[in-house]
Amino acid sequence: MARIALITGGMGGLGEAICIKMAALGYQVVTTHSPGNTKSGEWLDSMREQGFNFHAYACDVADYDSAQACIGEIEGAMGPVDVLVNNAGITRDMTFKKMDKVNWDAVIKTNLDSVFNMTKPVCDGMVDRGWGRIINISSVNGQKGAFGQTNYSAAKAGMHGFTKALALEIARKGVTVNTISPGYIGTKMVTSIPKEVLDTKIIPQIPMGRLGKPEEVAGLVAYLASDEAAFLTGANIAINGGQHMY
């Protein structure tokens, strides 16, 4: 039986590449999309045309009840989740002076609470079966901080605190928990930054002189999900073209 990989936010730039990579490796791929996403059918059709038979479920990852219900539906229809990739995320950038409670809460709930909401209903099952992989997609900006991102940097740093604590608790159970911290990757989240800012402020900070590719992050997810990565847990793996070394 193929292992089941659930990738949250799989219709986004990084998520799509992760879904494709995991499917190519033989996983049964399930993704979630926001309840308000009207393009999910279109996306599934276009993936099917490319040979990928993905399953998609509506879920507000920021909402505990929505996440519980979604996992219940997925497991009822397909079976237990073996690999969970907490990838869904948003930015709401502004300086701290302008940061209001609405934009603080939105980012913390979507990027950090979501990790609890989605991991909670799958973790015990992984432990009981003696095998599982939880992979949290954080950010270089959670490691180094970023101007205008007190909300995002806090949420992304928090994700790795979660990774380390849970990794300790279940280290002997065959379930690994790791964080990936990508630098700037060429998805809409980044390419929607004005070109002038990209060219003059962002790319010059990257020693490799280019944005990362979603496929490069997907390759790392695939490795962490594999049996070969069984001894790797509680790590925060940077994939940032040399932008931040620590």
Binding of ligand NDP at residue 139 (CB under 6 A)?
yes
- Closer of 42 and 169 to ligand NDP (Cβ): 42
Closest CA to 218 of 7, 2, 54: 7
Q: Any contact of residue 12 with ligand NDP (CB under 6 A)?
A: yes
Are 188 and 13 in contact by the 8 Å Cβ rule? The answer is yes
Site string for ligand NDP, 23-62 (x = CB under 6 A): ---------xxx--x---------------------xxxx
27 labelled catalytic:
no
Segment contacting ligand NDP by CB under 6 A, of 3-11, 164-172, 200-208, 226-234: 3-11
* By the rule CB under 6 A, 160 interacts with ligand NDP: no
Binding mask 68-107 for ligand NDP (x = CB under 6 A): -------------------xxxx-----------------
Output the smallest distance, CB 184 to ligand NDP, in A: 5
Give phi and psi for 57, each to the nearest 5. Answer: -130, 140
**Running DSSP on this structure, what letter comes out for residue 79?**
-
- Kindly state whether residue 118 participates in binding ligand NDP, applying the rule CB under 6 A: no
Residue 220 Cβ, how far from ligand NDP at the closest point, in Å? Answer: 12
Q: Quick one: tokens of 113? A: 């609470």
In the sheet that holds 55-58, the strands lie side by side as 55-58, 28-33, 4-7, 83-86, 132-137, 175-182, 236-239
Task: List phi, psi (to 5°) of 200.
Answer: -100, -25
Residue 167 or 221 having the CB closest to ligand NDP: 221
3-state helix, strand, coil in the chain (%, to 5): 50, 15, 35
Compute the distance between CA of residue 214 and CA of residue 197 in angstroms, rounded to an integer.
Answer: 20
Phi, psi for 135 (deg, rounded to 5): -125, 120
Q: Which is nearer to ligand NDP, 89 or 132 (CB)?
A: 89
Q: How far is the CB of 12 from ligand NDP (least distance, A)?
A: 2
Provide the residue count of the chain: 246
Comparison of 106 and 127: residue with beta carbon closer to ligand NDP: 106
User: Position of tokens 């038979």?
Assistant: 53
- Residues in contact with ligand NDP by CB under 6 A are 8-9, 11-15, 32-34, 37, 59-62, 87-90, 110, 137, 139, 182, 184-185, 187-190
Q: Which residues are catalytic?
A: 152
